[in-house]
Chain A
Amino acid sequence: MIFNQIFDAINIGLVILDRDLKVQKWNRWMEVHSGITEEKIIGSPIFETFPNLNNPKFQRSCKSVFSFGNFGFFSQKLHHYLFPFKSTSYFESTFEYMQQNCVMGPLRDENNFIQNLFIYIQDVTEVAVYEHKLVELNLKDGLTGIFNRRYFEVKLREEFGRCKRYGGELSLVMFDIDFFKKVNDGYGHQCGDFVLKSVSSRISSIIRNVDYLFRYGGEEFCCMLPETKFDGAMQAAERFRNAVMEMENNFNQAIIKITISLGVAGLNDEVGSAEVFIQKADEALYRAKREGRNRVMPMS
């Protein structure tokens, strides 16, 4: 009697299933979040109400609970949730469903025989949202919202290593806004920021899902193109140049036209390290600057 009260008062979800995975107990927390009463679900197979659980990992976990008395762990990090419940917190925008940490384990009868298994469900949405924000802050540039220099270095090392080990193509496009100082001096730093944001969002909108755009520093950017040969990267760079040139940056009724200079490098046997790779793209970018700006130059 007392235990039943605790069962319903506790702020976590508790479910008990029998060996046929039919629901034997469904506490009030589960009723509230699922909108399904215990009366309605009791005695029915869990897969009937939650077909998403009918997967090999969940089944393996149930089997190992019944065969070994094992525990099964479903962490939020790896699984996000077991039971798709609408999030009740104010953080709904980050996750569609409540983020859950779940644990499964055995329940024994007086002869030590495992008759049932329990699952408990903790709502960890709030923590997951904070973590998500922290990760984002760590990877992204605050002004433009694109990836930052730090992530560029991590990602480049990763992709570079992957290509060297397993083969594959990788290209870099480095670019820089021409006469950016004039924008800042002529229209103020707010306008400079506005231009940086506009360029970032314009380029972001024309790259593929698999490409990465980074703010390398000041007004310098870098786009990493995995599985892209040098020729393809040259074409992409040309597209970037045209897209920026055509932009009408309207800042306080003033139309600010800008251009960019670009340098392109493709991975080949001569490029021995990630540092050399960056250097190749950077050198090409400076040649584009020297030869009159608003142009794409290949690595030498």
Chain B
Amino acid sequence: MQEEKILSDEEIEILQEIMNISFGKSAADLADVIDTHVVLSVPFIKIMQVPDLPAYFKDHVKEYKTISIVEQKFWGRFKGDALLVFSSGAGRELIKMLQHETKTGFESDPIDILERETLMEVGNILIGACVGKLAELLKDVVTYTPPMVVVERDYSDAIAENRYDPDNTAIVLKTDFCFDEGDVSGFLFLITSNDSVSWMKEALRLFIEQYE
């Protein structure tokens, strides 16, 4: 781990501000796309060693007991992993919220397929909105892999222990969200690694320059 690759306090502060702005914009546009207001908390930034990640996630989501996770990778110059963790029962709540206007599922599809579909769709939109706006402010364009979903799993075994490169440093951006309608809440974690750090430092510098 090289000292200069980690963000300084000032850089973290700028990033925090950029996320505030971008998530504010996302929330407004999300209301237009999914017809309900999503409240996104002030994002929190933490830098940690990759092996500490699973324990960090678990600590945050343990009150939910069972969780559903939507995962998507994004890549541009800003790249990493987005994990959207929904509280238990979110899938069914979201189906209810969206159902009055949609019936894309087939009659024979069991509820769990509909649940997966709904979680993936909402997850994809929410992740894209947050990552997209953030990248936009930093003058980057990102692409995404298809979302993957884990439905209603016990929080302690939903997160694998050894899936990330242990030699990496992770920048974890965390925000909590809740929907105005229905009882749905959760966390969004964006995990980005060393690879993005030098670009991010430069992007943050350029961003702040326009105001100086």
Spell out A's residues near B (CB within 8 Å). Answer: 55-57, 60-61, 63-64, 67-73, 75, 77-80, 103, 105, 108, 112
Contacts and interface: CB of A to CB of B under 8 A. Distances in A.
Contact of B33 (A63, A69, A80, A105): A63
Nearest to A67: B29
Contacts of A71: 124, 128, 143-144, 146
Interface of B: 26, 29, 32-34, 98, 101-102, 104-106, 113, 116-117, 120-121, 124-125, 128-129, 132-133, 136, 141-144, 146-147
B136 A69 contact: yes
A75 B132 CA distance: 22
Contacts of A67: 29, 32-33, 129
Contact of A70 (B101, B120, B144): B144
A261 to B, nearest CB: 33
A60 B128 contact: no
B116 A72 contact: no
Q: Is the interface of B mostly helix, strand, loop or mixed?
A: helix
A294 to B, nearest CB: 36
A61 B146 CA distance: 13
B116 to A, nearest CB: 7
B124 A72 contact: yes
Which of A55, A69, A73, A105 has most B Cβ within 10 Å? A69
A68 B26 contact: yes
B55 to A, nearest CB: 31
A73 B129 contact: no
Given A63-B32, A67-B32, A105-B143, 17 more contacts: A56-B101, A57-B102, A57-B121, A60-B121, A64-B128, A64-B129, A68-B29, A68-B125, A68-B128, A69-B128, A70-B132, A71-B143, A72-B124, A73-B120, A73-B147, A75-B146, A103-B146
17 contacts: A56-B98, A60-B121, A67-B32, A67-B129, A68-B26, A68-B133, A69-B128, A69-B141, A69-B142, A70-B124, A70-B129, A71-B124, A71-B128, A78-B117, A103-B146, A105-B143, A108-B141
Which of B33, B129, B136, B144 has most A Cβ within 10 Å? B33
Contacts of B113: 77-78
Nearest to B101: A56
Which of A75, A78, A112 has most B Cβ within 10 Å? A78
A71 B133 CA distance: 13
A70 B146 contact: no
Nearest to B121: A57
A277 B99 CA distance: 36
Contacts of A105: 143
Given A68-B133, A70-B128, A71-B143, A60 B104 contact: no
Given A79-B104, A112-B141, A73 B146 contact: yes
Nearest to B104: A57
Contact of A64 (B106, B125, B136): B125
Contacts of A56: 98, 101-102, 104
Nearest to A106: B141
A132 to B, nearest CB: 13
A68 B121 contact: no
A112 B124 CA distance: 21
